[in-house]
Chain A
Amino acid sequence: MTRRKVLLAVNDREHEVWVTPSDSLLDVLHDELGMADVRYGCGEGVCGTCTVLLDGEPVNGCLLLAVQAEGRQVTTLRGLMGAGEAMHPLQECFLRRGAAQCGFCTPGMVLTAFDLVRRCGRPTREEIRYALVGNLCRCTGYTKILDAVEEYAALAGPGGAPGAVAR
């Protein structure tokens, strides 16, 4: 299949990549741009391990073609981090609460939760549960993930610590 050059803006940097029209955004990010934090889990849009933010909205990278992302801002988990590998406050909550076991679902989980708190400020535990239904985890049983997101929302939401939603 003929390849064509597209310009992808990922984590505030522009990348020129040659893609075929059928290449998924997931495959281009993972295999072409070497972004190991965007992962293949099912290819059906069910598990959420390939979640990225597209212009700030969580989407499944496996269901999107790379060419569709042209001219839009793509953010992966590592795009949330600060200079010098500084963790985002939400990542720190995941770390503190033991919200990762195998870690495979973690990037997608963090991105979806980040988007939720940004939209809703201080979601209830039930709202967090509902927002995360598209990000499957087979290890943790979710309890510690919910704890982490709840803690972050308390820090970052209305009345929370200023600067907790860094970046």
Chain B
Amino acid sequence: MTVVEQPGQAQGERPGGGYRVVGTSPAHHDFVDKVKGSLHYAADWRLPGMLHARVVRGQVPSGRILSVDVAQARALPGVVAVITAADVPSNRIVEMASGGLAELEVAMPVLAVDRVRYLGEPVALIAAVTQQIADDAAELVTVDYDELPGVFDVHAALAAGAPKVHDAGNTLVTWEIGCGDAEAALAAADVVVAGEYTSQHVEHAYLEPEAGVGWVENGVVTLRVSTQVIEHAATIAGILGLPASKVRVIAAYMGGGFGGKEDMTVEPYLALLVWHTRRPVRMIWDRQESLLASTKRHPFVMRYRTGAASDGTITAQQVEILGDAGAYPYLSPRVLFAAAALACGPYRVPNATIAARAVFTNNVPASAFRGFGAMQVVFGYESQMDLIAGRLGLSRTQVRERNFLVKGDRLPTGDRLATCVEVSQSMHRALAMLGEPASPSGPGKRVGRGIGCNRHPYGRTIWFRDRASAWLSLQADGTLLIRSGITDLGAGQAASLCQIAAEVLGTPLDGISIYIGDSALNPPAGGTFATRQLYMSGNAVLAAARELRDRIAPVAAELLGVPAGDLVFADGAVRPAGPPPGGVSLTLAELAAACEQRGVHTAHLSIWRAEAGSFDPRTGQGDSFPDYTYGTHAAEVEVDVETGEVTVLRYAACHDVGRAINPMRVEGQIQGGAMQGLGYALTEDLGIEDGYVQSTLFANYLIPNSYDFPDVQVDIIESGEGKGPLGARGIGEPPIGNVAAAIASAVQDAIGSRPTRLPITPERVLALLDEQADAGAGHRG
């Protein structure tokens, strides 16, 4: 392991070559509050005179609104406000999620005007003195529709003469990326394998439903909500027709988000009701409302053709991806870009042609979800690797080894990998964790093993020129304040920043308080998504801490009579490096006082910028993502050939995280990601038929419980080569990606057929076995 330390700096990060705080797993402020049950989430907030709110949602998936009658609802005693489209100052949300590079410009109304495009689209808003009255009033709003034909999957939406979801057309965006000549290389390949892979609508199913409380304070509309992104304040101000400075968003610690709280949820509705009534308002979505109308993971249809030489070396790959965006754009353009950019996985593909399209349908909108397009494609590219291995009689590890990317390689987008690729090591370590193979538990049972490797980006696409800021202040008593406008999903975003600052400045962790999630009082740091928070705000805090240390170190040097470069900041004090000389040290409080006397500021703001670059959508070439996290999952399953049931016997995951700032939290991310991935692979399917969500109850939507799957064993690689603080890579999203591929690979190993549709239900496994039987019978006949 190498650690790059800038020359001439006072030491605070690694006396004796190691870290004191980074790499340990202390229990932070947030853990303590959570375990005590004393953390106040978005719904745990109450103000005098607070009203309760309800969204009135459309009842048909596609229709023209003929009339909205709110008279009866308004007349109900206790109802304070009923709002429709006519009451919205600016009823247009234009997302342009790729930054205007490539997508169709389509506006989404805050409240439907004359048209509804998916079941559950907001039509009106109610505020009342109790929740019960608000709910009753919602039932009294009468909306007359002229139902229109809709399109409910990507194929129907793209068919000639298909009903248009938006006048501008049903294709939101098409990304075309490529290098070399895939057509010619496929024609010349020794073997060509082809497959079509499909995935389903998936629900985030955070345990905390969408919620928030809003009020007006000093003329500012203030919302305290469960959100990943406080920067929505500007959009909300636009909707209300207010200057951006007149809306403040405070993000409570979230009860889970997973991308589902990256777009606005309750915010615009809450803001409108607060602004109309000038009273505090609370809005909590029912779980059933959340299932019906919150954004989902995009179902994909992926067609792969892969050419390889007889030794297993990939020579070409063609990929076509269709993603069901649902009725409005949201972040689909970016999700499909990630799918295209990652479609070839952690493998070198010299000739590639990739097209990824986001398609409008009359389904509930799809948007961000942990994995963000780069996840669905793992099922595609890993299936192709196993098919090539099978066709050429190579092992599944051999064919992968032959094709893994290495540092310096060029990607299909044309940019080069700047850090090491430890995917081979992760594969061997994941497989090793499975141990000795299990034997089938009885007749009719077959055991199999599988692997899934992945490459997952961390950080926003480079053309967004991302930045994050952090402000640190050494207090007079030697304690430390951190302010940074991040949001905390529960993954320890805030806690990691405390560890980094403690490492550099030597402040004990319990002497650090961190203030986050406030668009008015924090320096902006960008939302918590795209596995960007440790990478971005971690680097911002590291820079701020180092700069602050460099400013105050000369004062300590003067008092201690040693060069600033020889100082160590540790345990709440500053002392000369080397063996403790006995008594010669300065507490941080004493140093703060000395700085005060000399007019040296002990507070510091730092802005950290990610690398800049550009992408040309016409050529499909340019800069894509700053860097990637690599890993492999290995699974052992038992398939019951009578029932089609797949039982996961063992599960292991290994990722290179560069540096584990808090190893326990890293493990937690990997275990949790893998478990969500197991639900995706085997049980979860929202099921939408003709625009109607079939999982209307939480009881019908099967997220993993404690009894469904085995423990997830974790092995962490620390290459030290990430672009995050101290060489860290992001780990929030990556570990959900591998799972479906690893399970499909294991099922294939067990029964000899490859599942190509997610989730891998017993019915689908039986269908694969039936196909085998039919093929065998046909062959014999």
Residue numbers of A with Cβ under 8 A of B are 1, 20, 22, 30-31, 34, 36-37, 39-44, 46-47, 49, 76-78, 81, 85, 87, 91, 94-96, 98-107, 110, 128-130, 132-146
Binding-face segment, B87-95, B202-210, B585-593:
B202-210
Contact of A129 among B32, B39, B44, B706 (CB under 8 A): B706
The answer to whether B35 and A98 have CB atoms under 8 Å apart is: no
The answer to whether B706 and A102 have CB atoms under 8 Å apart is: no
| Subset of 24 A-B contacts with CB under 8 Å | A36-B39, A39-B255, A41-B209, A78-B38, A91-B36, A98-B667, A102-B207, A102-B255, A103-B30, A103-B31, A103-B35, A104-B206, A104-B256, A106-B34, A107-B37, A130-B706, A136-B703, A137-B207, A138-B258, A138-B676, A141-B668, A141-B676, A142-B706, A144-B667
Which 4 pairs show the lowest CB-CB distances between chains A and B?
A103-B34, A102-B490, A37-B37, A104-B255
- Interface hub of B206, B288, B667, B711 (most chain A Cβ within 10 A): B711
Q: List CB contacts (< 8 Å) of B673-695 with chain A.
A: 673-676
The answer to whether B258 and A44 have CB atoms under 8 Å apart is: no
Residues of B within 8 Å of A49, CB to CB, are 207
The chain A residue with its CB closest to the CB of B282 is A31
- Interface hub of B32, B253, B258, B705 (most chain A Cβ within 10 A): B705
The answer to whether A103 and B706 have CB atoms under 8 Å apart is: no
In the assembled complex, the Cα of A143 lies from the Cα of B675 at a distance in Å of 10
The answer to whether B706 and A138 have CB atoms under 8 Å apart is: no
Contact of B39 among A30, A46, A103 (CB under 8 A): A103
In the assembled complex, the Cα of A103 lies from the Cα of B706 at a distance in Å of 16
Q: Does B595 contact A (CB under 8 A)?
A: no
Q: Does B222 contact A (CB under 8 A)?
A: no
The answer to whether B208 and A39 have CB atoms under 8 Å apart is: yes
- Residue-by-residue, is B660-679 near A (CB-CB < 8 Å gives 1, otherwise 0)? 00001101100111111000
Residues of A within 8 Å of B699, CB to CB, are 44, 46
The answer to whether A98 and B207 have CB atoms under 8 Å apart is: no
Q: Does B250 contact A (CB under 8 A)?
A: no
Residue numbers of B with Cβ under 8 A of A are 25, 27, 30-41, 43-44, 46, 132, 204-209, 253-256, 258, 284, 286-288, 489-492, 664-665, 667-668, 671-676, 697-699, 703-707, 711-712
Min CB distance B46 to A, Å, is 8
Min CB distance B528 to A, Å, is 12
The answer to whether A101 and B672 have CB atoms under 8 Å apart is: yes
Min CB distance B550 to A, Å, is 34
Contact of B256 among A36, A76, A102, A145 (CB under 8 A): A102
- Interface hub of A39, A76, A143 (most chain B Cβ within 10 A): A143
The chain A residue with its CB closest to the CB of B258 is A138
How many pairs of residues, A versus B, come closer than 8 Å at their CB atoms? 171
Residues of A within 8 Å of B667, CB to CB, are 98, 144
In the assembled complex, the Cα of A98 lies from the Cα of B43 at a distance in Å of 24
The answer to whether B36 and A87 have CB atoms under 8 Å apart is: yes
In the assembled complex, the Cα of A105 lies from the Cα of B204 at a distance in Å of 15
In the assembled complex, the Cα of A91 lies from the Cα of B676 at a distance in Å of 25
The answer to whether B706 and A105 have CB atoms under 8 Å apart is: no
Residues of A within 8 Å of B286, CB to CB, are 43
In the assembled complex, the Cα of A91 lies from the Cα of B27 at a distance in Å of 12
The answer to whether A39 and B287 have CB atoms under 8 Å apart is: no
The answer to whether B43 and A141 have CB atoms under 8 Å apart is: no
In the assembled complex, the Cα of A22 lies from the Cα of B130 at a distance in Å of 13
Contact of A146 among B209, B254, B711 (CB under 8 A): B711
The chain A residue with its CB closest to the CB of B37 is A37
Residues of A within 8 Å of B32, CB to CB, are 95
The answer to whether A142 and B37 touch (CB under 8 A), given A103-B30, A136-B207, is no
In the assembled complex, the Cα of A81 lies from the Cα of B38 at a distance in Å of 12
Residues of A within 8 Å of B44, CB to CB, are 30, 36
In the assembled complex, the Cα of A138 lies from the Cα of B39 at a distance in Å of 18
The answer to whether A44 and B697 have CB atoms under 8 Å apart is: yes
The chain A residue with its CB closest to the CB of B204 is A138
The answer to whether A146 and B205 have CB atoms under 8 Å apart is: no
In the assembled complex, the Cα of A144 lies from the Cα of B672 at a distance in Å of 10
Residues of B within 8 Å of A47, CB to CB, are 207, 287, 698
Residues of B within 8 Å of A128, CB to CB, are 706
Residues of B within 8 Å of A87, CB to CB, are 35-36
The answer to whether B41 and A104 have CB atoms under 8 Å apart is: yes
Min CB distance A100 to B, Å, is 4
Residues of A within 8 Å of B207, CB to CB, are 39, 41, 47, 49, 102, 104-105, 136-138
- Interface hub of B35, B253, B287 (most chain A Cβ within 10 A): B35
Residues of A within 8 Å of B698, CB to CB, are 42, 44, 46-47
In the assembled complex, the Cα of A149 lies from the Cα of B40 at a distance in Å of 25
Residues of B within 8 Å of A44, CB to CB, are 287, 697-699
Min CB distance B329 to A, Å, is 26
In the assembled complex, the Cα of A31 lies from the Cα of B253 at a distance in Å of 19
Residues of A within 8 Å of B697, CB to CB, are 44, 46
In the assembled complex, the Cα of A28 lies from the Cα of B283 at a distance in Å of 17
The answer to whether A41 and B208 touch (CB under 8 A), given A98-B25, A102-B256, is yes
Contact of A133 among B33, B706, B712 (CB under 8 A): B706
Residues of A within 8 Å of B705, CB to CB, are 132-134, 136
The answer to whether A138 and B491 have CB atoms under 8 Å apart is: no
In the assembled complex, the Cα of A77 lies from the Cα of B35 at a distance in Å of 9
Min CB distance B129 to A, Å, is 13
In the assembled complex, the Cα of A24 lies from the Cα of B671 at a distance in Å of 35
- Interface hub of B39, B255, B674 (most chain A Cβ within 10 A): B255
In the assembled complex, the Cα of A95 lies from the Cα of B27 at a distance in Å of 7
Min CB distance A62 to B, Å, is 10
Contact of A143 among B25, B38, B254, B712 (CB under 8 A): B712
Residues of A within 8 Å of B39, CB to CB, are 36, 103
Residues of B within 8 Å of A139, CB to CB, are 256, 490-491, 668, 672
In the assembled complex, the Cα of A133 lies from the Cα of B708 at a distance in Å of 9
The chain A residue with its CB closest to the CB of B44 is A36
Min CB distance B780 to A, Å, is 44
In the assembled complex, the Cα of A85 lies from the Cα of B705 at a distance in Å of 30
In the assembled complex, the Cα of A37 lies from the Cα of B44 at a distance in Å of 9
Residues of A within 8 Å of B33, CB to CB, are 103
Residues of B within 8 Å of A81, CB to CB, are 36
Min CB distance A126 to B, Å, is 8
The answer to whether A143 and B711 have CB atoms under 8 Å apart is: yes
The chain A residue with its CB closest to the CB of B32 is A95
In the assembled complex, the Cα of A43 lies from the Cα of B286 at a distance in Å of 8
The chain A residue with its CB closest to the CB of B488 is A102
The answer to whether B490 and A98 have CB atoms under 8 Å apart is: no
Contact of B668 among A106, A138, A144 (CB under 8 A): A144
Contact of A77 among B37, B255, B664, B665 (CB under 8 A): B37
Min CB distance A12 to B, Å, is 16
The answer to whether A98 and B668 touch (CB under 8 A), given A138-B703, A143-B712, is yes
The answer to whether A101 and B490 have CB atoms under 8 Å apart is: yes
In the assembled complex, the Cα of A144 lies from the Cα of B31 at a distance in Å of 13
In the assembled complex, the Cα of A59 lies from the Cα of B703 at a distance in Å of 21
The answer to whether A98 and B255 have CB atoms under 8 Å apart is: no
The answer to whether A104 and B208 have CB atoms under 8 Å apart is: yes
The answer to whether A41 and B287 have CB atoms under 8 Å apart is: yes
Min CB distance A149 to B, Å, is 10
- Interface hub of B25, B38, B489 (most chain A Cβ within 10 A): B38
The answer to whether A132 and B706 have CB atoms under 8 Å apart is: yes
The chain A residue with its CB closest to the CB of B653 is A141
In the assembled complex, the Cα of A94 lies from the Cα of B649 at a distance in Å of 26
With A34-B46, A43-B286, A47-B207 known, 8 other A-B pairs at CB within 8 A are A43-B288, A87-B35, A98-B664, A98-B668, A100-B34, A102-B255, A110-B35, A137-B207
The answer to whether A102 and B254 touch (CB under 8 A), given A41-B207, A136-B207, A142-B706, is yes
Min CB distance B79 to A, Å, is 16
Residues of A within 8 Å of B256, CB to CB, are 101-102, 104, 138-139
The answer to whether A102 and B37 touch (CB under 8 A), given A44-B698, A138-B256, is no
Min CB distance A111 to B, Å, is 10
- Interface hub of A47, A135, A139 (most chain B Cβ within 10 A): A139
In the assembled complex, the Cα of A20 lies from the Cα of B133 at a distance in Å of 13
The answer to whether B38 and A135 have CB atoms under 8 Å apart is: no
